[in-house]
Amino acid sequence: MEDTPARLADKPSWLLTQLAVHAHRLASEGFGEAGARGYHFRVLAALDEFGVASQAELGRRCAMDRSDVVAAVTELAERGFVERTQDPQDRRRNMVTLTGAGQEQLRRLDRVLDQAQDTLLEPLAAQDRQTLTRLLTALLAHHRRG
């Protein structure tokens, strides 16, 4: 950061943006080595936590565009990680269910993401990591409220 102007380098917005680039790269590389993408993790995690969901619900819960949800669900279904069935109450809607193989894949991806977090936060002590997470969560909650 010696080449970065001081009036820029000490701005939290700039620091967060620069760190986000590294965080995304670490997660993407890890997911790629596991034959997955970040969207796969989002969908699998949402299904594991909330249960069967429509593709529209997954999009809202995972902050994903509809076309990205469809692509991710299609890829996951092709690998046997999810099952997509027609909603009997609304034939226009697809319902997505996590399979046993999908739960195993989610556990693998959890480990990948944990490793990316450890690499990203390596210079921080455990308590500092918790503090950083708490502060980032508070900031995100504030800005999501509007």
User: What CATH number is given to the structural domain containing 31?
Assistant: 1.10.10.10
Query: What single letter denotes the amino acid at residue 45?
Result: A
Alpha carbon 50 to its chain centroid, in Å, reads 15
Residue 19 lies in a domain: no
Summarised one tens digit per residue, pLDDT across range 16-60 is 999 999 999 999 999 999 999 999 999 999 999 999 999 999 999
Residue 137 lies in a domain: no
> What is residue 51's DSSP assignment?
-
Residue 105 lies in a domain: yes
How far, CA to CA in Å, does 2 sit from each of 12, 19, 23?
Answer: 17, 16, 21
The pTM score is: 0.89
Q: Which domain holds residue 87?
A: 25-114
Residue 6 lies in a domain: no
- N- to C-terminal Cα distance for the chain? 32
- The answer to whether the CB of 82 falls within 8 A of the CB of 100 is no
Residue 3, pLDDT > 90, answer no
Instruction: Give how many domains the chain has, as a whole number.
Output: 1
Mean pLDDT of the chain: 95
Residue 1 lies in a domain: no
Summarised one tens digit per residue, pLDDT across range 85-113 is 998 888 888 999 999 999 999 999 999 99
d(Cα 41, Cα 68) in Å, to the nearest integer?
A: 13
Strands, DSSP E only, in the chain? 53-54, 82-87, 90-98
